[in-house]
Structure 1
Amino acid sequence: MTDERYMMNAPEVAAALGVKIGMAYKLIRQWNTELKAQGKLTIRGKINRKFFERKLEV
């Protein structure tokens, strides 16, 4: 098993994208809204790591 966690928090998203924490939270809210519309479980302030990686591939 890898050391990577299932969910990413805002500081991890900010570091990965090179943006400020506030922008990371804004993106997480937007993506969680998208996931919720698909019927997925979301956690406020966190994003699924695989979903995040798929969003970056686009």
Structure 2
Amino acid sequence: MLVVGAGAFFGAVISATGIGKVLAHTLSSADLPLIVLTYVTSCGLRLAQGSATVAIVTV
């Protein structure tokens, strides 16, 4: 339960700081298919956090 809460909190921090918009703009200019962008985003969060469950809930 704490892991899911941490993921939701991390997602809220990303939204509040504006990093999400910058990341979305950067990834949209990469001209990759949506499934690849989703995979790249989840892998980046997984590497940054170390928890697959938190990375899934954050995205």
TM-score range, shorter chain: 0.3 to 0.5
Indicate the structure with greater helix content. 2
The structure number with the bigger radius of gyration is 2
Indicate the structure with greater strand content. 1
TM-score scaled to structure 2, two decimals? 0.44
TM-score scaled to structure 1, two decimals? 0.45
